[in-house]
Chains A and B, each alone.
Chain A
């Protein structure tokens, strides 16, 4: 999902994950309405998310942060949860920092932590809110490879991203929001050539 800053992308994620209730309409997941369900219920049904403005438990180590996801999401006991948390932290590239607190790691690593916590709940769908902002091209390649691996495990990805290179290379479909309305939907190519999208979002100088 792409769209101008302030067009409602994060708000939509907040509605899907149960933080806000919609004024009307509903959210359906696997043939069932999840519209007025609480965030923790939605998480246990298999929809996990990351936050653009990262929300770690700042007094806990990275391991504990991820352990909470593992114990809560699928109800693992501490011992098995711990193994799982370590495995996930290794997967996202934080293996060497499991005893650090979130304040002791870089912004980029805090985004990896967001991802690790979401993965620990063993989701079927994961909502990624701008996890590539602020990365260099080399780091974007790494992040893309991580997302591809997650997707190859059978996890569905719904992401908000402004880095068009990433969107173009990884997404099968793109939805565009503007002022809270969907203005386009289609393949990355179709959307990138859409004149309304260029006008509202991309600008004509962007390469």
Chain B
């Protein structure tokens, strides 16, 4: 449903992604692994239209449901059914938790299902319901992560892209967040995520790509990569 072909992206003269190609099929969970600075967040930002690829012709493209989306602005890409949770989260600090969630549902098809989405999110994260009338800026680091995920789900995406879902979460919630991602997948949402917690992300991923120095150096099924020597040494410290 989503495909990136030979993508090249840079900041000014500094090229960060080099001929990156990847595919996500409907209903899959796909992970992109790699060290900090490898270009993982750049990849997601480009997919959502927040950054532009360096060159766009037939060979270099981003397509979603057979439609070219490279070159579209982020708000149009969101309307097509893609949502991104960035590492910085970008919450509205002086709005309540509830209002932040509602802001996630501003597109038409999401607005109609707002009540239903809220119920789903409060089920996933009871803590957000406890704090629904608090300003987002009073939330702890982990609660902000829950709110960012919740707000993205409010837009009813078909493809959810998550930049480091487990960042800043306590151990108990790390296992829970990956269970939650699996649950989200089972509700029919396709997932593309970038994650440092290689063990748990590979456990739930159908497939994964390894990005190092801006290039895809490896790809395979989640379970297969968990057994790979390079992965075990570099990412699992085994």
Contacts and interface: CB of A to CB of B under 8 A. Distances in A.
Interface in A84-106: 104, 106
Interface string B133-171: 000000111110110000000000000000010011111
Contact of A134 (B167, B170, B173, B237): B167
B235 A5 contact: no
A5 B174 CA distance: 11
B170 to A, nearest CB: 5
Interface string B158-196: 000000100111111111100000000000000000001
B35 interface: yes
Contact of B36 (A2, A3, A136): A136
B127 interface: yes
A122 B198 CA distance: 36
A6 B172 contact: no
B35 A139 contact: yes
Contact of A5 (B143, B164, B237): B143
B196 A4 contact: no
B235 A137 contact: yes
Central interface residue in A4, A6, A52, A201, by most chain B CB within 10 Å: A6
21 contacts: A4-B170, A5-B140, A6-B139, A6-B142, A10-B140, A52-B141, A53-B141, A106-B36, A109-B37, A130-B168, A133-B168, A134-B87, A136-B35, A138-B234, A139-B36, A162-B168, A162-B170, A162-B174, A201-B172, A203-B172, A205-B175
Contacts of A53: 141
Nearest to B234: A138
Interface string A109-133: 1000000000000000000001001
A6 B145 CA distance: 11
Nearest to B174: A206
Contacts of B198: 136-137
Given A138-B237, A201-B171, 15 more contacts: A4-B172, A4-B173, A5-B169, A5-B170, A6-B140, A107-B36, A133-B167, A134-B164, A134-B196, A136-B35, A137-B235, A139-B36, A162-B168, A162-B170, A203-B175
A57 to B, nearest CB: 17
A164 interface: yes
Nearest to A4: B170
Interface in B21-40: 35-37
B72 interface: no
B236 interface: yes
Interface string B10-50: 01000000000000000000000001110000000000000
B36 to A, nearest CB: 4
Contacts of B145: 5
A188 B13 CA distance: 47
